[in-house]
Structure 1
């Protein structure tokens, strides 16, 4: 085993014989990239299981997004969990710190998203030709300048939370793609707060915000 893999750089939120749920750090990729020396979640799989087959990532999180990430330790567990995602049975709750304050306390965004490339930079933009994307949101707290939103992703499109917050008119702090102007925050202020899968037994975990979000959350009056 690689000597650099002597300890896990992320907390384990849940563990049994079939699954592990970790609190993925912001900035850590989930997949191994042979062109990069940066450690990924997959690089630590030998510490999670000694089985020759697996573990496997059940789903993914963007590199800059922290929070709940489900890992399967058995092939049948992977199949069962991915079936929940395909059937849209998974509850996915995110927290985002955004610019400004919405005029309402809650809402529902239905905005199809299409991948668009411009000047060698791609992003997900609202377009009727895109894939259906649906997000419920509610205001958790605000000081007028910034707000904390709870986002329930009813679909699982790439950059969905980030794009939908921008479409709402309240882009996420630290988002260099959807909030590039006057953006002095080095970290994306988005994390996967909770995930629940209706398996038998049910699979669920709740994660704590990353440090950079905790610092700004203290500025928000709940």
Structure 2
């Protein structure tokens, strides 16, 4: 069943699943047991300004219009439209709502959060609004009022009237989907998650996108991705992307498809498929290791030629931790350094243009441009491996601060070359937490990394990026 159609048409003509009711009954008997991590995690919090989760406990539900609050009074900026794009990202603001009054989604969110209707329309266009048919379980930090509302809207006596959940398990009913239309109907009990401040990419509006197109064929487009942009978008922004802007620059009537990713702060070759079919074909080539990627890395110290091997912790969070020793369950990471030559450290004007942060590196007279063959494709692999070697990338504000700390005090890295022996697992866990805390935040625009060449089918197709940003002063 198409859930988006269910939400859009008011969920008529369906009946409630007995399986779902039985699961809810079991769940309500043990609210401390997590049901789903799709929507709520320890890193997300309920808003105290939403109609669904008011800050004070109440024995009766309040009307939507009565809970609308003035943004300025609560310390939020005055909202108008998402465009033109600001030059900075606002602090995260994520609102979690349970619909108390059915109706069009844009109207409901606008009233509940006291946001201008056109601002909400922009959020929906950006992909920053999600829904689930049934409210997920609140996190451990939830208030008594939030738990009360969760219980109310997951009671079997309430769900039996929800025709939209026929044949669904609880986990299926709590799965989130993007809201795609401003007039989609949301019924009472529907969960909404609104990213009021989506992550922005102002660089998208500064780029001459036509000049970044390397090649156009019937099946794909090759893009020289600028640093400071997202290939296919983020959780809350699918508008300000390379895919969107390249599609517009070429005047295509059908949107391009993302075939692979590189970090936002990395520049270089990206393949965008023109059809869903070729997107699948290219994915298969990647899985079958028929695609070769070469990178230029601007490291702070020289690297020896040869293969570098690490093992990466299988946790999908930055920073990515790596170990030179094989650890059970950790993923193999390998790259090959093909060349390494001394170059000048980027001058102050270039650093300012690409928002290169200081990161505390002691000497900025010279850097080292290394040509790297990426043998395995892990997220942040080159960045994490080179930092562990003591050769972090220029401008890498996540990994360079930790590398500097390890240089000054060897042994801080619990998985590094000078790692210490720990007397207990608790001591090691504390050391890991302290090591993670030494890492910094994601770079604002660029780091010293370029995907400079991509090829596949044994070199039948081969493309190169332009001059890397750190050599721009030489032009």
Where structure 1 has 5 or more consecutive residues not aligned to the other structure, the ranges are none
Q: Distance in 2 between matches of 1:176 and 1:38?
A: 26
Which residue of the other structure, out of 183, 186, 191, is the alignment partner of 2:450? 191
Residues 91-130 of structure 1 aligned to structure 2 (within 5 Å): 91-102=292-303, 104=304, 106-115=305-314, 122-127=318-323, 128=327, 129-130=329-330
- Change in CA separation of 1:132 and 1:116 when aligned onto 2, cut-off 3 Å: same
> C-alpha displacement at 1:187, in angstroms?
3.1
Q: Distance in 1 between matches of 2:369 and 2:394?
A: 10
Q: Please give the per-residue CA displacement for 1:57-96, whole angstroms capped at 9, x wherever unaligned.
A: 1101100000000001122211211111111121100001
Contact 1:115 1:123 in 2 (8 A): no
Q: Secondary structure at the match of 1:164?
A: helix
> C-alpha displacement at 1:195, in angstroms?
0.3
RMSD: 3.3
> C-alpha displacement at 1:8, in angstroms?
2.6
Any runs of at least 4 consecutive aligned residues in structure 1 with deviations exceeding 6 A, and if so which? none
Which residue of the other structure, out of 163, 179, 183, is the alignment partner of 2:400? 179
Which residue of the other structure, out of 374, 377, 384, is the alignment partner of 1:153? 374
> C-alpha displacement at 1:34, in angstroms?
6.8
- Aligned residue pairs total 207
Q: Which residue of 2 aligns with 1:169?
A: 390
Q: Secondary structure at the match of 1:137?
A: strand
> C-alpha displacement at 1:33, in angstroms?
4.0
- Change in CA separation of 1:148 and 1:167 when aligned onto 2, cut-off 3 Å: same
Q: Distance in 2 between matches of 1:168 and 1:34?
A: 32
Residues 71-82 of structure 1 aligned to structure 2 (within 5 Å): 71-82=272-283
- TM-score, normalised on structure 2? 0.39
- More relative contact order in 1 or in 2 (CA 8 Å, sep 6+)? 1
Contact 2:210 2:246 in 1 (8 A): no
Q: Please give the per-residue CA displacement for 1:193-216, whole angstroms capped at 9, x wherever unaligned.
A: 0001118x93321001333x1158
Contact 2:342 2:368 in 1 (8 A): yes
Where structure 2 has 5 or more consecutive residues not aligned to the other structure, the ranges are 1-82, 84-203, 344-364, 406-439
Q: Which residue of 1 aligns with 2:464?
A: 206
